[in-house]
Amino acid sequence: MTNDDLYAKLPQDVIFQILLKLPTHSLLQLRSVSKSFVPLISHPHFLRLHLSSSAAPHPFHHLLYYESSDYTKSYFSFHVEKTFSLCTLLETPFKSVNGYLRLVGCCRGVVCLFDTNYFTFVGTVILWNPFIGKFKILPCLQGLNCFGSNFSHMAVGFGFDHRAVDFKVVKILYDCDSERKFLPKAFIYGIKTGSWRSIGEVVPCFMPRNWSSSVLVNGIVHWLAYKRPEFNGPPNCIMGFDVVDEVFKLMELPQNLGPNCNELRLSPSVDKKSVALFVNNRENVGDTWNVWLMNDYGKVESWTRKCTVVLDQVFFPLKLVSDGEILAAISDEKLVLFDVGKEEIKDLEVCGLPLSFSAASYMPSLALLDAGEQLVK
């Protein structure tokens, strides 16, 4: 009996429920070996249900982005969850138009990239599912007449609306000076609608004219920001955007960040239910980073300093990967895993510009399978 014969004998509702529980790689195999499964698995309704289902098991990988030390090449790669050994060196099915791809975020199998350059901080958003090789280039904002004469730069965030089962991208447009001549404007794009629209919400915080990386936790995109447009010293708050309710939120930083605080970096907590904060305190002894954790998400009083890292070389923390390990880049252009308890550095044998490294958690999905761009795998 062939697969198609078996498919014909089973009730359609039974087949549907079985398919919903299968992991992504199994569904792709079914599409390859049996034409009967193609229409069902590729149907937008099935894709939405499978995307929102938590029953299907998924392998977990680390997605890395980094540049070569001579600035000539950029790399995307998958790495094993615990050992960080290389799984796959990825090839993008598109080319950067502006010369530089920034990793905005990663959620439900979709990677959000911002195609820009080192000078303008204006660019195009690309959504890419590297597991199935599909991508979608989002339209620009020019048609909405949203750029004022004093426009300077934009911040970008990405998340998944579990209520609408939709991927959303938010863009925040800022003025070029600090006198707040006009309020920042926010626009949102949803895959379902396929267009940008203005958000009536007031943007409560400001981000300076440089790249502001974001962290997605609990359906909220988080950026380090400033309460006022005077950019003196490190950021003094966290601004969040809820992709479900489409509202902005403001969160306070820990009250006692210590002396000589000159750099902050944000990370998801290990369980991805809250946020962690790396605080750099430059001392004579070397590079010192304090690691803070918000134990009860949203409550300022729950910030707790977990540990302190002191190294002789410059250290660029990327994210917490376990309760005692930090993924980081160091000044000699190496990606490392730092064991806080043992005070040991493990060389992960990945080399690149320290400030170019970005990392995100990746779980495969069928998202964008019905996107307009061609399947390249």
**331-369 tens-digit pLDDT:** 889 999 999 989 899 999 999 999 899 999 998 888 888
* DSSP at 37: G
- Average pLDDT of 224-249? 90
Question: Is pLDDT above 50 for 49?
Answer: yes
Determine the Cα–Cα distance for residues 114 and 156; give it in Å rounded to an integer.
8
Q: Is residue 266 part of a domain?
A: yes
Q: Are residues 9 and 89 in the same domain?
A: no
Nearest to 280 by CA among 224, 333, 226, 230: 224
Rg (CA), the chain: 22
Q: Is residue 369 part of a domain?
A: no
Considering all CA atoms of the chain, what is the largest pairwise distance in Å, rounded to the nearest integer?
Answer: 74
Do 128 and 40 fall within a single domain? no
Structural domain includes residue 377: no
End-of-domain residue from the set 16, 34, 52: 52
Q: Are residues 75 and 223 in the same domain?
A: yes
Same domain, 324 and 287: yes
Helix-helix angle 44-52:12-20, to 10 degrees: 50
Q: What is the mean pLDDT of residues 203-207?
A: 90
Q: Do β-strands 166-175 and 185-190 pair in parallel, antiparallel, or remain unpaired?
A: antiparallel
Same domain as 328, residue 191: yes
Q: CA 362 → CA 31, 52, 109, 177, 326, distances in Å?
A: 22, 16, 6, 37, 18
Q: Which residue has the higher pLDDT, 201 or 280?
A: 280
Q: Are residues 170 and 266 in the same domain?
A: yes
Whether residue 44 sits in one domain with residue 134: no
- Give the integer Cα–Cα distance in Å for 42 and 49: 12
Residue 373 lies in a domain: no
Segment holding 74, helix H or strand E: strand 74-80
pLDDT at 310: 87
Q: Which of 19, 107, 31, 10 is nearest to 56 (CA)?
A: 19
* Cα torsion 137, 143, 144, 147: sign: positive
The verdict on residue 371 lying in a domain is no
Which of the listed residues 14, 33, 52 is the one where a domain comes to its end? 52
Burial 209-224 (b: 16+ CB within 10 A, else e): eebbbbbbbbbbbbbb
Is the same domain home to 147 and 252?
yes
Concatenate the DSSP letters of all residues of 213-253 into one string. -EEEETTEEEEEEBSSS---SS--EEEEEETTTTEEEEEEP
For 22, list phi and psi in degrees, rounded to 5: -85, 145
Residues 33 and 118 in one domain: no
Domain CATH code at residue 239: 2.120.10.80
Per-residue pLDDT, 30: 76
For residues 325 and 327, what is the distance between their CA atoms, to the nearest angstrom? 7
Average of pLDDT values for 229-257? 91
**Domain membership of residue 28 as a residue range:** 3-52
Cβ neighbors of 211 (< 8 A, separation 6 or more) are 102, 121
Residue where one domain finishes, among candidates 14, 35, 52: 52
DSSP conformational letter for 12: H
* Whether residue 87 sits in one domain with residue 21: no
Rounded to the nearest integer, the mean pLDDT of the chain is: 84
Q: State the pLDDT at residue 97.
A: 82
The DSSP string of 116-161 is E-TTT---EEEEEETTTTEEEEPP-SGGG----TTEEEEEEEEEEE
Q: What is the DSSP letter of 33?
A: H
The pLDDT-based confidence of 1 (bands split at 50, 70, 90) is very low
Quote the CA–CA distance of 144 and 125 in Å, as a whole number.
16
Q: What is the spatial distance between Cα 72 and Cα 74, in angstroms, rounded to a whole number?
A: 7
Residue 314 identity (one-letter amino acid): V
Let me know whether 38 and 137 are in one domain: no
- Asked whether residue 96 falls in the same domain as residue 156, the answer is yes
Classify residue 372: in a domain, yes or no: no
CA distance 72 to 69: 8
Q: How many domains does the chain have?
A: 2
What is the pTM assigned to this prediction? 0.87
For the segment 116-166, what is each residue's pLDDT rounded down to a tens digit? Answer: 887 767 889 999 999 888 999 999 886 666 766 677 888 999 999 999 989
